[in-house]
Amino acid sequence: MESLQHGPRQRRADRSRIPPPYPQDQGTDLGVKSWGPEQWKIGGGTVWGWLSYDPVLKLVYYGTSNPGPWNAEQRPGDNKWTAGVFARDVSTGQARWYYHSTPHDLFDHDDINETILVDWPGPNGQRIPAMLRPSRNGYFYVQDRRNGRILSADAYSFINAYKGVDLKTGRLIPAPEKEPKEGRVVRNICPGPPGAKDWNPSAFSPVTGLIYIPHLNICMDMGAKNANYIPGTPFVGADVKMYAGPGGNRGVFTAWDPVARRKVFEIKEDLPLWSPALATAGGLVFYGTMDGWFKAIDARSGKLLWQFKTGSGIIGQPISYRAPTGDSTSPCRRASAAGPERSSRPISTNAIRPPRSASSTQ
Amino acid sequence: MSLRFRNSTALLALAAALWGCNREERQTRGKPLGETATAAMPDTVYPGTGNAPAPDPRAAQYEGNASAIAQGQMLYNQMNCVGCHFHGGGGMGVALMDGKWRYGGRIDQIVASIDQGRPNGMPAWRHRLTEQQMWQLAAYVRTLSGQERKDAVSARADEVSNTPPQTQTKREPLMPADSDEQ
């Protein structure tokens, strides 16, 4: 369980040319000092999500997972370097900056979700190298990817576990009434442990300028209890009961305008959405549901244009490619794979045409 | 006090006198196994439709014993069983609240699974738990599918409860796990 994210070897991060953007992430041996004695050694913070690479800045970006155990009373402190995002020099591995999205995580809100690199419209027509992150904690972060500084952080899902992100200090503002304590059950915490969104990546469309986020609307009751560290067994210390959030639907597909910082449309799905999204230049967006529907929607209106029932729930990544016949439309292939049954039968979507208005804007 | 209630109290007392002794019996702490101890449990896994081995006589000490079940309930949380099997519903580990048992649902067969470990994630608890603790755990595990007497189980759970009290758990008929599942 010893994690390379923690401990003294992170000292190198502090000698980087560009200091971390916020004071709480600056200093020495924070990966040791922000824990109880020796706890960083068994504190989780693994990397199991997505990596993004910027060939100009030569930086690799990735997020780290939640601290262990879930019972936060057992690990006093901010618990670095868990539940945050790193930028590292690709040739040396040295950390360039780190941003702690969820300090002292209370609810298993890892920060391993995807990092989408975009050119951001800055003042005076400048282009800022930025990154977009629909985070587990429910905030949509836009950050300057050169130094980690937050440009905006807005809730894209229903949140009551936090009160916002302080843009001055970069710190997440907790909601004290939602803090689980040992022997006490806290009801109605939103979002639940899988967060407002889990690992399944969203899709950015340069055509519409929107980001399409397949995500969750799940709240929970949580009771904390003492967890024993026994290698080979889950180190959790929490009893969790999950249920649908406001509205009663467990899944949501949200189209988000990152510049205007607002939701453009949302599609409510009964089951939690664990399928990644795919946006095509033809003005279509694809995603799948746990009951096996593979859907194509209009990228601007969200209108359902086509759907196909597959043999199992969909959690696989849809991909699009040009067929060797030279057909100019893009067939779409995806693997339907929830659980042990897998079917990789390709689905041809040649017949789908986006509505006139959408295709004419390209 | 109504006549009906008095009658049922008398009946209960009679029942307790007849077969309630085992429910209340308490045991002192069991001895840990030595480092080189051989398997404490007989091999309870057998191929095909062969006959199951005869039940282990130790089962009588633990089945229907309220103290053993309560100890097992505590251990179930402390040993992180709950992290995989949850409170019977299953998660990373198999569900324990149904009647399906891949390696047998008799108490001695469950003890063997705890002792030896099983493929795909179930650790072997030999040398980590005493033999007594494994039996206590197995006694509690059987309550999750309603196998134990209702007067011996705990009427309330230790956790955020999203299941009815164990006194209301329906008894699931035991059956081998089907090959059509997974």
pLDDT at residue A243 greater than cutoff 90: yes
Q: Are A239 and B160 an interchain contact pair (Cβ–Cβ within 8 Å)?
A: yes
β-sheet with A262-269: strand ranges across: A203-205, A210-216, A251-257, A262-269
Rounded mean pLDDT, A23-41: 90
In a domain, B150, yes or no: yes
Nearest CA in chain A to B91: A234
pLDDT at residue B45 greater than cutoff 70: yes
Q: Identify which of A194, A361, A215 has the alpha carbon closest to the alpha carbon of residue A287.
A: A215
| pLDDT at site A181 | 87
Confidence of residue A35 (pLDDT cuts 50, 70, 90): very high
In chain A, what residues touch B92 (CB-CB under 8 Å)? 234
Rounded mean pLDDT, A309-313: 91
pLDDT at residue A235 greater than cutoff 60: yes
Which of A39-43, B152-156, B160-164 is predicted least confidently?
B160-164
Of B81, B123, B162, the CB nearest to A232: B123
Convert the pLDDT of each residue in A69-113 to its tens digit.
Answer: 999 999 999 999 999 999 999 999 999 999 999 999 999 999 999
Confidence of residue B44 (pLDDT cuts 50, 70, 90): confident
| pLDDT at site A2 | 34
CA atoms of B94 and B100, how far apart (whole Å): 10
Confidence of residue B34 (pLDDT cuts 50, 70, 90): low
Rounded mean pLDDT, B97-126: 91
Q: Are B123 and A233 an interchain contact pair (Cβ–Cβ within 8 Å)?
A: yes
CA atoms of A108 and A69, how far apart (whole Å): 9
Q: Is A148 left (phi over 0), alpha (psi -120 to 50) or beta?
A: left
Mean pLDDT of chain A: 87
In terms of pLDDT, which residue wins out, A24 or A71?
A71
CATH homologous superfamily of A8-273 equals: Quinoprotein alcohol dehydrogenase-like superfamily (2.140.10.10)
| pLDDT at site B127 | 83
In chain A, what residues touch B82 (CB-CB under 8 Å)? 236, 239
CA atoms of A332 and A337, how far apart (whole Å): 16
Q: Identify which of A71, A82, A73, A72 has the alpha carbon closest to the alpha carbon of residue A40.
A: A82
The letter for the amino acid at A263 is: K
Q: What is the number of domains present in chain B?
A: 1
Which residues of A make CB contacts under 8 Å with B? 185, 221-223, 225, 227-228, 230, 232-236, 239-241, 340
In a domain, B44, yes or no: no
In a domain, B6, yes or no: no
Of A185, A227, A234, the CB nearest to B160: A185
Which helix (H) or strand (E) segment holds residue B101: the answer is strand B100-101
| pLDDT at site B169 | 84
In a domain, B181, yes or no: yes
| pLDDT at site B175 | 79
In chain A, what residues touch B182 (CB-CB under 8 Å)? 340
pLDDT at residue B117 greater than cutoff 90: yes
| pLDDT at site A85 | 95
- Tell whether B79 lies on the interface with A, counting CB pairs under 8 A: yes
Chains A, B: CB pairs < 8 Å: 38
In a domain, B57, yes or no: no
The CATH number of the domain holding residue B115 is 1.10.760.10
| pLDDT at site B172 | 85
In terms of pLDDT, which residue wins out, A176 or A19?
A176
CA atoms of A76 and A69, how far apart (whole Å): 11
pLDDT at residue B126 greater than cutoff 60: yes
Which of A237-241, A345-349, B124-128 is predicted least confidently?
A345-349
pLDDT at residue B155 greater than cutoff 90: no
| pLDDT at site A358 | 39
Question: Within a 13 Å sphere around the CA of A230, how many CA atoms are in the beta-carbon half?
Answer: 21
Confidence of residue A356 (pLDDT cuts 50, 70, 90): very low
For testing contact with chain B, the best of A74, A233, A236, A342 (most B CBs within 10 A): A233
Q: What is the DSSP letter of B117?
A: -
Rounded mean pLDDT, A122-128: 89
Domain that holds residue B152: 67-182
Convert the pLDDT of each residue in A46-66 to its tens digit.
Answer: 999 999 999 999 999 999 999
Q: Are A136 and A113 in contact (CB under 8 A)?
A: yes
Which of A30-34, A121-125, A299-303 is predicted least confidently?
A121-125
Q: In residues, how long is chain A?
A: 362
| pLDDT at site B53 | 76
pLDDT at residue A360 greater than cutoff 50: no
Confidence of residue B26 (pLDDT cuts 50, 70, 90): confident
pLDDT at residue A357 greater than cutoff 90: no
CA atoms of A82 and A85, how far apart (whole Å): 8
As a three-state string, the secondary structure of chain A is: CCCCCCCHHHHHHHHCCCCCCCHHHCCCCHHHHCCCCCHHHHCECCCCCCEEEECCCCEEEEECCCECCCCHHHCCCCCCCCCCEEEEECCCCCEEEEECCCCCCCCCCCCCCCCEEEEEECHHHCEEEEEEEECCCCEEEEEECCCCCEEEEEECCCCCCEEEECCCCCCEEECHHHCCCECCEEEEECCCCCCCCCCCCCEEECCCCEEEEEEECEEEEEEECCCCCCCCCCCCCEEEEEEECCCCCCEEEEEEECCCCEEEEEEEECCCCCCCCEECCCCEEEEECCCCEEEEEECCCCCEEEEEECCCCCCCCCEECCCCCCCCCCCEECCECCCCCCECCCECCCCCCCCHHHHHCC
Of B77, B82, B162, the CB nearest to A241: B162
Q: Are B159 and A239 an interchain contact pair (Cβ–Cβ within 8 Å)?
A: yes
Q: Are B125 and B117 in contact (CB under 8 A)?
A: yes
pLDDT at residue A158 greater than cutoff 60: yes
In a domain, B22, yes or no: no
